[in-house]
């Protein structure tokens, strides 16, 4: 099988779909925090719409992350770009983003469905790590686009 020059349509849709879902999780996190506080203090919560959105969107992210990993490991992938330290950093950030896409929802589920208080702490730490990695990821994409001008973004564009 020949090596593609860009990601497949499905991978591209999943990549940008996860970005939209991340925004959904973020905008619903205040509602989730209120429900979590109720649950920890009173042992019960009404589970507002925002809370339900947070849970469902997060579980969909988990499913899509597993799908993305499966595609990555079963289909030919475009070549890694860069070399040396730059390639290593790109790899670490990508692996980190996949880890966040898995551990963030799993820790949320352990807290919410299992009542594990510490999992709530892990969830918060993973979210902050995710933000850091996402910042590096977007900065790298901008660097490729406007400084290196190598049109790396085209590999993640539908057309
Ligand atoms: C993967 C996408 C998700 C993102 C981006 C996300 C993001 C967040 C953020 C930013 C907070 C507030 C943390 C804080 O400042 O205290 C939070 C809290 C929480 N989330 Fe999520 N979450 C996701 C998935 C989930 C899922 C799938 C569940 C459960 C099924 C969940 C359950 C919780 C709970 C219980 C809290 C309160 C715990 C705490 O604040 O320490 N989350 N989430
Ligand atoms: C504005 C936001 C974003 C931009 C501009 C962006 C841009 C890109 C680009 C250009 C690539 C292709 C890199 C290459 O060809 O090697 C890529 C890959 C990737 N992106 Fe993003 N991205 C964004 C948001 C996200 C989000 C929210 C996540 C997940 C939390 C994410 C996770 C990944 C991963 C894991 C890869 C590697 C795919 C693979 O090799 O399997 N990205 N991104």
Residues 142 and 12: their CA atoms lie apart, in Å, by: 18
**pLDDT at site 1:** 61
Taking the CA of residue 124 as reference, the ligand 1 atom at the shortest distance is 13
Taking the CA of residue 36 as reference, the ligand 1 atom at the shortest distance is 37
**pLDDT at site 83:** 87
Please report the DSSP string for 120-157 in residue order: HHHHHHHHHHHHHHHHHHHHHHHHIIIII---GGGGGS
Question: For 11-29, b where at least 16 C-beta lie within 10 A, e where not — what string?
Answer: bbebeeebeebbebbeebb
Decide: pTM greater than 0.85: yes
Q: 56 CB under 6 A from ligand 2?
A: no
pLDDT below 50 — which residues of the chain?
none
Q: 59 CB under 6 A from ligand 1?
A: yes
Q: 97 CB under 6 A from ligand 2?
A: yes
Helix 9-27, helix 29-42: angle, nearest 10: 50
């Amino acid at each position: 099988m020949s090596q593609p020059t860009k990601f497949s349509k499905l991978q591209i849709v999943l990549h940008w779909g996860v970005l939209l879902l991340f925004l959904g999780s973020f905008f619903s996190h205040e509602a989730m925090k209120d429900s979590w506080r109720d649950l920890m203090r009173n042992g019960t919560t009404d589970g507002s719409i925002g809370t339900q959105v947070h849970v469902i969107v997060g579980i969909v992210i988990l499913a899509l992350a597993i799908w993305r990993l499966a595609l990555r490991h079963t289909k030919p992938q475009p070549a890694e770009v860069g070399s040396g330290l730059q390639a290593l950093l790109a790899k670490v950030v990508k692996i980190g983003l996949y880890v966040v896409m898995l551990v963030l929802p799993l820790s949320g589920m352990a807290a919410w469905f299992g009542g594990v208080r510490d999992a709530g702490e892990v969830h918060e730490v993973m979210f902050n790590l995710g933000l850091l990695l996402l910042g590096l990821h977007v900065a790298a994409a901008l660097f490729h686009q406007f400084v290196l001008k190598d049109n790396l973004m085209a590999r993640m564009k539908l057309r």
